[in-house]
Amino acid sequence: MMTPRPERVSRHDVLSSAREIVDAQGLEQLTMRRLGTALGADPMTAYRHFAGKAEIAAALADEFWVGLSLPAAAESSDWRAYALALMRAIRSELAAHPGLIPIVSTHPITSPAALTVADEAIGALLDLGAPVDPSLGDLVNVLVMVTVASAMGEFAAPAGTEPTEADAAHEHPDGDRGHDDAETELLAALPHLGRVIAAGWSPSPERQFEAGVAAILHGWRFAPPPAP
């Protein structure tokens, strides 16, 4: 009786294991050998589907955009409200997968599947009244850059952080509160920042994200419509 041939490791299997490693330990800890161990296979197994780590990272970025759940257009009053909801959705998804943030931030949307998601988002903006203007594409790209940068600063582990240190930071969310208080106290002691803090300001990544996106959306200049 012949022994059944074991199932081959699929491309999906490789990406799922790679995402788990990146989520838990960060991109720096993703190696082809560690990936083979996670798959319970030979270290060379992943090379059947990807040329190397860089190609896996690009596929993870693509997978992020393909899997993004777009907001329902019907729930937005106009195109600006939809754009804000879209950026909130992107930021929320990045917060759930902080290890992917450096990958998403350095890989442009290029695959047909990911571009289809981008096209659907642009279609919702147009349906809600956004102008058919060449700079609409620039506006969306700028919003995404600001959103990813905001997520990078708030959710990604600082460069050089060891995996155990990053885990400890995630396990003790209340520890950040004391850090924020100490930072505010330090800033308040400075002559110029102290004046701003005395006027009511305090650091808030979420508030700054919301204010930044709103300023871009409402201050963006489109070309004037052609004269009739």
CATH number at 28 reads: 1.10.10
Domain hosting 43: range is 11-50
49, 47, 15: which is closest to 32 by C-alpha?
Answer: 47
Query: Is 136 part of any domain?
Result: yes
At a CB cut-off of 8 Å and minimum separation 6, what does 99 contact?
Answer: 22, 23, 24, 25, 26, 27, 156, 157
Same domain, 184 and 112: yes
pLDDT in tens, 85-132: 999 999 999 999 999 999 999 999 989 999 999 999 999 999 999 999
181-194 pLDDT per residue, tens: 787 788 888 889 88
Number of domains in the chain: 2
Q: What is the pLDDT of residue 163?
A: 60
Please give the model's pTM, rounded to 2 decimal places: 0.84
**Rounded CA separation 108/58 (Å):** 9
- In tens, the pLDDT along 3-20 reads 444 458 899 999 999 999
* pLDDT: which is higher, 176 or 122: 122
Q: How many CB atoms lie within 10 A of CB 182?
A: 10
pLDDT reported for residue 7 = 53
What pLDDT does residue 6 have?
Answer: 46
